[in-house]
Structure 1
Amino acid sequence: MALINRRQEDILSELDKKGYVNVVDLCAAHNVSTVTIRKDLTFLENENLLHRTHGGASKKLLYAFERNVNDKEELQVEQKKQIAKEALKFINNNDNIILGSGSNIHYLSRIIKDFNKLTVMTSSLKVSLELCRESTISTIQLGGDIRNSSTSVVGPIAEATLGQFSCNKLFLGTDGVHLDFGLSTSNALEAHLNQAMIAVSEKVIVLADSTKMNVRGFGKICNLHKIDILITDSGIDEETKIKLEEFGIDVVVAQMEK
C-alpha cells in the first residue's frame, strides 16, 4: 500500500464516522480545491479504501447487484430476524396483506403463526411454502414467470392478478433505500411488480437491514414518499434516519437481543 498523507487519513476517518463524504464539504474542511480532493479520493479508491460516487465517496459500494436469495439469507442473519419480529407487530387478525419477495420477507413468513384469520398474497414461492403450513392463513400465490435467483414470480400475469384485489398492508423487501433515487431493486421486472403491489395497498411497510441504506439498484420501485413505515436495524446512521423521517416515513429500528 502506498503512503497516505494526513489529509487522506482525515478523509478515511470521516468515512468511518459517517459512511460517506462529499467533495464540497471536504474542500471546506481542508481549505483545498476540488481538484485536490478528487485526486485524494481517486488515490484512496485505487488503494481499495473507499468507493467513489457522484460528488463524493462512500465506505461501501452504493450499487446493488443481483444475488441468489439463498445467499442473501446468510447475510445479516440476526438483524433480519429482529426486523422480522418488529414487522410481525404490524400484522393483525383479519388483515389482507401482500408479502413481496426477498430474504427479509422470507424471515418474516417463518414467524407468521397463531392468527385466527389472515389472508396473504405473495409473489414468493418460498413464502407460500412457509404459510401453507398454517391452517388459519389463506395464502394466494401469484402466478407468472419464475425468477430462479429469487424463487419468486414476475411479469404481466402477476401484475394483472394484483389488479383484482385491494389489500390493507404491503410488506416489501428491497435492495436499496436511497435518499435521492428512492426504493429500488436489482431486477427491473421485480421493480415493476412491486409498483403494482404498492398501487393496490393502503399501507407500505418496507423491511431493509442497514446495509441497504444509501444504496441503489437497477430498477426503481418508487420515491420515498410512497413508504409509510421502514423497519431496519441499529446499524442505520442517525443522519440517514432523520432524513428518511423528513419524507414522512416512520422509521422503526429493531434492536438486537442481548
Structure 2
Amino acid sequence: MIRVRGGAIRLPKLNIAEEQATTEKKRFHYREKRSIGRMAATLIQENETIILDSGSTTMEIAKNLHSFKQLTIITNAIDIAIELSKYKRFNVILLGGHLRDSSLSTVGPIAENTLKIFYCDKLFLGVDSFNLERGVSTPNIEEANINQTMITMVKETIAVFDSSKVNKKSFAFIAP
C-alpha cells in the first residue's frame, strides 16, 4: 500500500519470489521435493562428476544417492556437503567463498573461479522461481552469478523445483 491524500491505494502484487531461508523452505512441499529428489537421482550415472546447487530440493537428491559407489560431487552448499559426507565413498568438493547465511551456501569470485577448473557432467540447479518467458531466477544476485558459472561448466543442466516455483519471477536472472 502507498499513502495518498485522503487514504491509501493497494498496489498490485508483482509476483516476485522473495528469498526464504533454507530451513524455512524445507517445511513446504516436502513430499514433492522428496519425490523430485528420488527421480533426479535416477538421472545420475556411476562415476559421473555432478554439481549439486544449494537448496531444499537439491538436498533431497543428496539423500538419494545410496545406490552409487563412485561419484564426484561439487557443491556450494554446506548442509549438502555434510549430508554427502555420510556416504564415506564419494569425492566431495565444497566450494569456498562468501557464506550466505540464508542458504548455507557459498558465492562470490572465490567460488566462481574454483568452479572454472572443473568439467562436469551434470548440474542439478535449485531455483526459486521459473517462468516460461523469463526463465529461472533467484532473489540474490550473487546466487545468480554462481549459478550462471555452474551452467557454463557442465554438459547438462537439470533444474529441480516444485510447483510453487512455477509462474514466478525473482530479482536476478539465471538462465532462459
Question: TM-score, normalised on structure 1?
Answer: 0.63
The answer to whether structure 1 residue 182 and structure 2 residue 105 are counterparts is no
Query: Where has structure 1 moved over 4 Å in runs of 4 or more?
Result: none
What TM-score, normalized by structure 2, do the two folds share? 0.91
Counterpart residue number, 1:139: 92
**Alignment match of 1:199 (pick from 139, 142, 152):** 152
* In structure 2, C-alpha distance between the alignment counterparts of 1:189 and 1:180, rounded to whole Å: 22
Q: Indicate the residue corresponding to 1:220 in structure 2.
A: 173
Q: Secondary structure, in 3 states, of the residue corresponding to 1:214? A: coil
Structure 2, gaps ≥5 residues long: 1-9
1:62 is displaced (CA, Å) by: 2.1
Choose which of 81, 99, 102 in structure 1 pairs with 2:55.
Answer: 102
| Amino acid corresponding to residue 85 of structure 1 in structure 2 | R
Check if 1:111 corresponds to 2:64: yes
Higher relative contact order (CA 8 A, sep 6+): 2
List runs of 5+ in structure 1 lacking aligned partners. Answer: 1-45, 54-60, 224-258
Structure 1 counterpart SS, 2:103: coil
Aligned to 2:75: 122
Paired residues in the alignment total: 168
| Identical positions, percent | 38
Partner-residue secondary structure (3-state), 1:190: helix
Task: Report the alpha carbon displacement of residue 112 of structure 1 after superposing the two structures with TM.
Answer: 1.6
d(CA) in 2 for partners of 1:179, 1:107:
25
Aligned to 1:88: 41
AA aligned to 1:107 is: E
Name the structure 1 match of 2:104.
151
1:52 shift after superposition: 4.3
What are the within-5 Å matches in structure 2 for residues 26-37 of structure 1?
A: none
How many Å separate the matches in 1 of 2:33 and 2:132? 22
How far has the Cα of 1:110 moved from its partner? 1.5
- Whole-angstrom distance in 2 between the partners of 1:125 and 1:112: 17
